[in-house]
Amino acid sequence: MIGDAFTPVLEAARSGEPWAFEVIYRDLAPAVLGYLRGQRAAEPEDLASDVFVGVVRGLPSFRGDEGGFRSWVFSIAHRRLVDERRRLARRREDAVDPSLMSGPLAASSVGDAEAEALDRIKQGWALRVLGLLTEDQRSVLLLRILADLSVEEVAGILGKRPGAVKTLQRRALASLARHLDREGVS
Amino acid sequence: MRRPSDYRDEMDRLDPRLVDAALAGRETGEPALDRAAQLVADLRRALLEEPGTQAPRHLAAMAAAAEHEVWGSSTVLSEHRAARPGRRRLAGVALAAVLLLGAGMAWGAVSLPDQASDRAEEAVAAAQERGNGAPEAGQTEGVETEDGTHGEQVGEVAHDDSLEGCEKGQAVSEVAGSNADEGGPKHDPCAKGDEGGQAGGAGQEASAKGKAKAEEAKAKDHGPPEDAGAPGKVKEKEKP
């Protein structure tokens, strides 16, 4: 979080100050990239670049505090993600893949080619865990734990009611707990 | 073995604050939820990562967007759109002013347009090269006096009542053409039998033939032929 300096940083960014862009980027880029990676974006780095370009373009019209700004940035990220998925015509199933649920979490016994490739990097296991969740559960969980958004803010981004978001996040936690219990992780 | 619905029921019974704590990666006191909270914390650590080598590229894209999109054409465009009604009014006023000014200039013959003025200057320069240039500023009065004298002379002849008809016209023409080039053939327009002059061409020759035929007819106490004095018809008859 930028904190008290947010307002002057935002004003400087509206004036086109490069240092202000960097402050905003350093604060939000890890979460935006994490969100896009967690959502299995095809090109998360390129998509993140599109998101921040969209942020710059929308700065003159943005009104609100830092919380609102953070929520607004992730709404842009989510829209870019949906657009990318439409373009790519959805090459994989976003729902629970039964093959991901077999074997211990740390092992790489999954037949999914994409997951096997990602096992070699740090986020590989995280993607497999997130593969246990439905698309809506994953979106809610990522926006809650990476973007630090409230239930209401997540509901606004996803176009759902707050009650539905609360249900989705509880179901997501239940799915994770069930999987851990099945795998014998304590 | 617990059924999936057991986990769901358990989570549904949880206090929302515990769920929030689990999502924040904090301990909740609920064993199942704590394990899930631990997993959530691991997920956060795994996914939150500095952009690293991509950061300069992303920042450059942001700067470019700011320069070309937001503070460049977009802002200018919005300002342009905002100012459009005023500019339209200004354009209308300017157009009306141009039309009024143009009409006024045409009425008062104030000055030539630039293009015509340029052409006039070119013509003056060409005339000066030929030695017939326009008078200099100091010569203007003399030229006007000379022109005025010539005009008076022409006017005197024109108002002279002692001459009439062709002779008067010839006299006026001679006085008026006294300043003109003396070269070229001259003819007497009042001379009988040469009405068309040398420049009359075939029509005048035919007219002379028609007159000759008329004289022959007169000599034979017949009226003049119908085509007499109609050079065109005569010429048509003469065609083979």
Q: Which of B19, B58, B76 to mutate to test the interface with A (most CBs of A within 10 A)?
A: B58
- What CA–CA distance (Å, rounded) separates A36 from A44? 5
Task: ipTM value, please give it.
Answer: 0.78
pLDDT at A26 exceeding the cut of 90:
yes
Give the CA distances from residue B44 to residues A129, A134, A158, B87, B182, in Å, rounded to whole numbers and listed in that order: 12, 18, 20, 56, 110
Please report, for residues A34, A99, B8, B32, the alpha-carbon distance to residue A126 in angstroms, rounded to integers and kept in the order given: 10, 15, 22, 19
Interchain CB contact of A139 with B (< 8 Å): no
Please, are residues A58 and A32 in contact by the beta-carbon 8 Å criterion?
A: no
pLDDT of residue B18: 87
Dihedral sign (CA B3, B8, B14, B19): positive
User: Which of the residue ranges A23-32, B7-16, B31-40 has the most confident prediction, judged by mean pLDDT?
Assistant: A23-32
Instruction: State residue B33's pLDDT score.
Output: 84
Distant-in-sequence, close-in-space partners of B94: CB < 8 Å, separation ≥ 6: none
Contact call for B59 and A22, based on CB within 8 A:
yes
Look over chain A and give the mean of its residue pLDDT values, rounded to a whole number: 84
Query: Which DSSP string corresponds to A25-61?
Result: HHHHHHHHHHHHHHTT-SSHHHHHHHHHHHHHHHGGG
Q: Can you tell me the distance from the alpha carbon of B42 to that of A141, in angstroms, rounded to the nearest whole number?
A: 13
Q: Give B86 to chain A, closest Cα distance, Å.
A: 24
Q: Residue B100: its pLDDT value, please? A: 53
Among A13-22, B6-15, B176-185, the range scoring the smallest mean pLDDT is B176-185
Instruction: Test B47 with A37 for CB contact under 8 angstroms.
Output: yes
**Is any Cβ of chain B less than 8 angstroms from the Cβ of A102?**
no
Average pLDDT, chain B: 60
Asked if B55 and A27 touch (Cβ cutoff 8 Å), the reply is no
Residue that is written with structure tokens 């979080």 in the block: A1
CB contacts < 8 A, A to B, total 139
The string of pLDDT tens digits covering residues A110-162 is: 455 554 555 455 678 888 889 999 999 999 999 999 999 999 999 999 999 99
Task: Tell me if A159 sits within 8 A of A150, measured CB to CB.
Answer: no
pTM summary value? 0.54
Q: What is the largest CA-CA distance in chain B?
A: 153
- More confidently predicted of B93 and A16: A16
In which band, very low, low, confident or very high, does the pLDDT at B10 lie, cut at 50, 70 and 90? low
Whether residues A146 and B19 touch (CB distance < 8 A) is answered with: no
pLDDT at A112: 57
Angle subtended by helix axes B231-238 and B202-219, to nearest 10: 90
Higher pLDDT, B100 or A43: A43
Q: Hey, how many other C-beta atoms are within 10 angstroms of the C-beta on A101?
A: 17
Percent of chain B with pLDDT over 90: 5
Average pLDDT rounded to a whole number, residues B74-84: 42
Mean pLDDT of B228-233: 40
- pLDDT higher than 90, residue A59: yes
With CB atoms and an 8 Å threshold, state whether A129 touches B55.
Answer: no
pLDDT score of A129: 87
CA B65 from chain center: how many Å? Answer: 40
Residue B26 dihedral angles phi and psi, to the nearest 5°? -95, 160
What amino acid is encoded at A135 in this protein? E
Non-local CB neighbours of B198 within 8 Å, separated by 6+ positions: B185, B187
Is the confidence at residue B144, as pLDDT, over 60? no
How far apart are the CA of B61 and the nearest CA of chain A, in angstroms?
Answer: 6
- Strand, helix or coil for residue B211: helix
Among B33, B47, B48, select the one facing A173 at the smallest CB separation. B33
- State what percent of residues in chain A have pLDDT above 70: 80
In the structure, what pLDDT confidence band is assigned to residue B8 with cuts at 50, 70 and 90?
Answer: low
Q: Looking at per-residue confidence, does B195 or B43 come out higher?
A: B43
Q: Is the pLDDT of residue A56 over 60?
A: yes
**pLDDT at residue B107, rounded to an integer:** 47
Among the listed residues A141, A44, A5, A17, the one whose alpha carbon sits nearest the alpha carbon of residue B52: A44
* Confidence at B160, pLDDT banded by 50, 70, 90: confident
